[in-house]
Structure 1
Amino acid sequence: MKLFEIAQFLKPEELDEALRADVSAGLTSQPKTLPPKWFYDDRGSELFTEITRLEEYYPTRRERAILAARAGEIASATGARTLVELGAGSGEKTRLLLDALGASLEAYVPVDVSGEYLRDAAEKIAAEYPALAVRPVAADYERHLSRIPGGPRKLVAFLGGTIGNMVPQERHGFLSAIRATLGPDDALLLGADLVKDEKRLVRAYDDERGVTAEFNRNVLRVINARLGADFVPEAFEHVAVWDPDDEWIEMRLRSRGRQEVRVEALDLTVRFADAEEMRTEISAKFRPERLEAELDAAGYTLAGFWTDPDGDFSLTLARPQKDHDSEEMSPGRLTVG
């Protein structure tokens, strides 16, 4: 097996500083909040992989089905020689793209915040694709986009519907920042969940086995371990609700009774009222026309749009707009046969 080093753009002290800042701001605000990126220590990454295999959690299966049916079209349309995957995770769906891109692909750059989890996934990819240069990067892709190595004919993949974890202003900034890294021959492949029946959406984030609940509470365990807090995770109930106005799911942690939590690294004492809720994640769902409008506003031209047969999930291929674009492709709803 080829040996490689993980490019460490996210140094431990930077990660600690960001965690302290986020937790301090979130626990002193009203209502209280915590960013979803802190779910993902090694245990959090394992729990999320387990979530993707649950019957209730359809997005991963639907996205995989689209990739299985359309990866060849994506490969032909992009001719990518470098694949950069933001939030790479286990890389299970990535193999469909790697296989479709074939011998023309020269380098794979998986980017994630969890270094050890990233190393394990990258080693497996390197073993399965010995001709491919695998260059893993431990980074916060919201902060380090400009430093992530690229290459000729780059395809940036942001899969799994993670774009929905950002509020609209954050999405615009993030998509614009990716756009700034793209050359005229590069492209973005974006996975986004679509608006559907409220009951199905809530079930996907509140499974019967309680895996999502454990994933949600894992953020408290991360804060305990990293900041010397004394959260009792079991003292918080997992809640998932649909916001019809913003068209997103909110995950929250609801305090079971009045309690007081000490965060030693911040010299902070936090009080929770009985049934007080703290938001830990949003997961926005999209309509095709909204996706097109947001990508256009961030400087992209649509080059392809695909859904699964039921219209549950979508993959969008977008290219950076040229200064004088005269022919913009209109995205039609393409379905898996």
Structure 2
Amino acid sequence: MLIPIFKPSIRRKDMDSVLSNLISDSIGPGLLAKRFAQSVSRYLGVAGGVALREYTRSLEVALDALNLAPGSRVVLSPLSPGMYLHVLKKRGFKPLFADVDSDSPVISVDSIKNLLSHDPHVLLIHYHLGFIPDMEEISNLGIPIIEDISHSFGGNTVDRRCGNYGRYIIISLEPENIITSGGGGMILAQRSKDLTAFKKVISDLPEETVLSDINASLGVVQMSSLESFIQARKEIARIFTQALVESKHKTLIQSIDSENVFFSFPVLLESGMAEVRKYAEKKNVQTLPAFDSSIIKKLNQNGFTFPNAKTFFFRTLLFPLYPAMGKRNTEHVARVLSTLP
């Protein structure tokens, strides 16, 4: 049986808890969504948040809350999710692309600094594959940050958790991410005045914009297991890293003094991706090009050049890594990694 590239960490007892929450007489409509957002806010140590039905909507609300004028300039990495570009263009904003570091797929501080002459209005920072850029130096630039911690939820720098640098923080809650509510997203704010600003934006949207209680209930249960999820990911990554040493390939590493979360297991290939994928599939292991849905896939068609991002785009392949893998599947993937062509 094929080991899928992603699988949500949902146990039978989690679904029992979801059902118990939904039928509780003490919980009214919408309260579970509030409880979920409060749980995430407490974990991150921020002012508050709102869970939404769509991840894309989380970014839209964050941008609208900043009250940016059409033509505003937004700095982001070309390895960011492709939907970013759609949202920016829809609002008439101008993307400014900063390359990533040469040794890690994180947005480069030097590349951001090279764009300061364009007077950017916002930095849109995505923690690609859970790896953490130099957020201390980035935050010292004094430009408002929207921080996307979908891949890095639970990670931290020396001083702070990921999610403590942005004016607004967004999270995807789709099944492949660190925690899931079965779909949707969340927006949070560090400061009370920014929380008020984005809640005003949400108040003008349809009522069904907010995450449903059944989805939020799953999110509440997931938050109660977050630390165990993160530890399980670390242990599996340790096993896979040791196995990969036997091959000619290598994995990516956190390049600054921070503790990343393993969103998946990335392999930086020394041979052709098609050959490696064919071998893994033959061994019943699903793989995925790491940045197949990123912006750079579109930029490549338009003559843009970002040498470091292009390297990661063409050479990084993801292998399954998630808490629900189990011992047998973990050992099988490790054997495959150790024998990759």
Give the strand-richer structure, 1 or 2.
Answer: 1
TM-score using structure 2 length: 0.29
